[in-house]
Amino acid sequence: MRKVAVLGIGQTKVSEHWDKSLKDLAGEAIQGALSDAGRTPIDGLFVGNMLSGSLNQQENLGVLITDWCGLTPAEALKIETACSSGGSAFRSGLIAVASGEMECVLVVGVEKMTDSRPADTTAALATAADADYETAHGLSFVALNALVMRRYLHDYGWQHTDFAPFSIIAHANAVTNPYARLSFPVTEQDYAQARMIAEPINLLDASPIGDGAAAVVLVPAEQANPRSTNGSSTRITIAASATATDTLAIHDRKDPTWLSAAYSSARKAYSQAGVAPQEIDFFELHDAFSIMSVLSLEACGFAERGQGPRLGLEGDIQITGRLPIATLGGLKARGHPVGATGVYQIVEVVQQLRGQAGSNQVEKARIGMAQNIGGSGATIVTHILKKE
């Protein structure tokens, strides 16, 4: 298989885009990515999206966007794996180019969630669980994560306030990101006083939904000339791509506080990239809830089991720390337009590796990892990108 490079990136602000439809949002991100790449034609379009069928009365999203962007007869498809749809679409586009089947592909993640009533959005998000055995009992995704967090607090003896740094750091990192939905700082006091959503998850443990789109252009690495950014010449290649699955229902797992799919997919990714966890310079993880950040850090080998909160308390995950996470706000503050999130993560990894992350730049960033999670840890997609 050929090595593949990210040639262009584009994104819209995550927001309540009441004046823009799915295809408008996707088109804006695609236009950005194509213009950044300086290249067409495109052989294929891979769309990451979860909710267009349930919230937007729109399927056939691949060709809808292809047609809207004037890219026909390029082939197109929509890929869905719940909240990891963006990561899965990126992986599919990558395989298409790496295999030699296609020479240049676009991957776009897009989601439009804020036109619907909140109750409808919550119900739509619950379609990521088993309709027969889980959703029927009224369990929402916040409730599922609350059960896991409560168990974690019980098993390892942490206090709820020990999770505050995850929220505070994500918000701090979003302040200068023009694409972030919640670009304001929050304090320890804000966190302690935030209203409870599903105990012990409060408002500041949870990421906000949103409308948005992010896109990348992929080509064989040998066709991607190094580009000059900030005085240095860089080429961003994909060093690893791996997906693993676990049981859909948390109640079917031997251990509800262990993300076995994160462990497997990260381990495969490290092996493909030939790196150890300590060589990862920053990590765009799936902080849909603060408990998920902790579980991901542990499963990916960045913390001992039960010790994830320590990375927040000791400053390791700050931009200047040992392993910066959510460097442009993460799901928590950039926002979580579910099927688009995985592509936002990749776009942000590229921004860091190119040295285009502004005041949030991770110094000497050379190897970045992104991890996208579908369902409560059921599908986990890990990518490692390198600056060459």
Query: Which residues are annotated as catalytic?
Result: 83, 336
| Residues in 252-271 at the binding interface with a second copy, rule: CB under 8 A | 252, 260-261, 264
Rounding to the nearest 10 degrees, give the CA dihedral for residues 187, 343, 323, 359: -60
The answer to the question of residue 225 lying near a second copy (CB under 8 A) is: no
The answer to the question of residue 237 lying near a second copy (CB under 8 A) is: no
Burial letters 172-182, b for 16+ CB under 10 A, else e: bbbeebebbbb
Among 26, 33, 128, 328, the residue binding a second copy under the rule CB under 8 A is 128
Sort residue 385 into left (φ over 0), alpha (ψ -120 to 50) or beta.
beta
Nearer to a second copy (CB atom), residue 81 or residue 296 = 81
The answer to the question of residue 273 lying near a second copy (CB under 8 A) is: no
User: What's the token pair of residue 37?
Assistant: 């790449």
Among 116, 135, 234, 307, the residue binding a second copy under the rule CB under 8 A is 135
Nearer to a second copy (CB atom), residue 112 or residue 387 = 112
Distance from C-alpha of 317 to C-alpha of 39, rounded to nearest angstrom:
36
Interface map 92-121 toward a second copy (x if CB under 8 A): x--xx-xxxx--------------------
Distance from C-alpha of 384 to C-alpha of 272, rounded to nearest angstrom:
9
The answer to the question of residue 244 lying near a second copy (CB under 8 A) is: yes
Q: Would you give the end-to-end CA distance of the chain in angstroms? A: 18
Decide: helix, strand or coil at residue 110: strand
The answer to the question of residue 50 lying near a second copy (CB under 8 A) is: yes
User: What's the token pair of residue 79?
Assistant: 């890929």
Whether 174 and 182 have beta carbons less than 8 Å apart is answered as yes
Residues 6+ apart with CB under 8 A from 162: 309, 312, 313
The answer to the question of residue 246 lying near a second copy (CB under 8 A) is: yes
Closest approach, Cβ 223 to a second copy, in A, equals 18
Judged by CB under 8 A, how many residues of this single chain contact a second copy?
63
Distance from C-alpha of 170 to C-alpha of 83, rounded to nearest angstrom:
19
Distance from C-alpha of 176 to C-alpha of 184, rounded to nearest angstrom:
9
Closest approach, Cβ 91 to a second copy, in A, equals 8
Closest approach, Cβ 180 to a second copy, in A, equals 26
The answer to the question of residue 221 lying near a second copy (CB under 8 A) is: no
Closest approach, Cβ 54 to a second copy, in A, equals 4
Distance from C-alpha of 264 to C-alpha of 54, rounded to nearest angstrom:
31
Tally of CB atoms within 10 A around 103 = 15
Tally of CB atoms within 10 A around 245 = 16
Of 130-138, 162-170, 204-212, 269-277, which part binds a second copy (CB under 8 A)?
130-138
Nearer to a second copy (CB atom), residue 57 or residue 320 = 57
Of 175-183, 205-213, 247-255, 316-324, which part binds a second copy (CB under 8 A)?
247-255
Residues in contact with a second copy by CB under 8 A are 1, 21, 23, 50-54, 56-64, 66-67, 72-82, 88, 92, 95-96, 98-101, 123-124, 126-132, 135, 243-249, 252, 260-261, 264, 374-375, 378-379
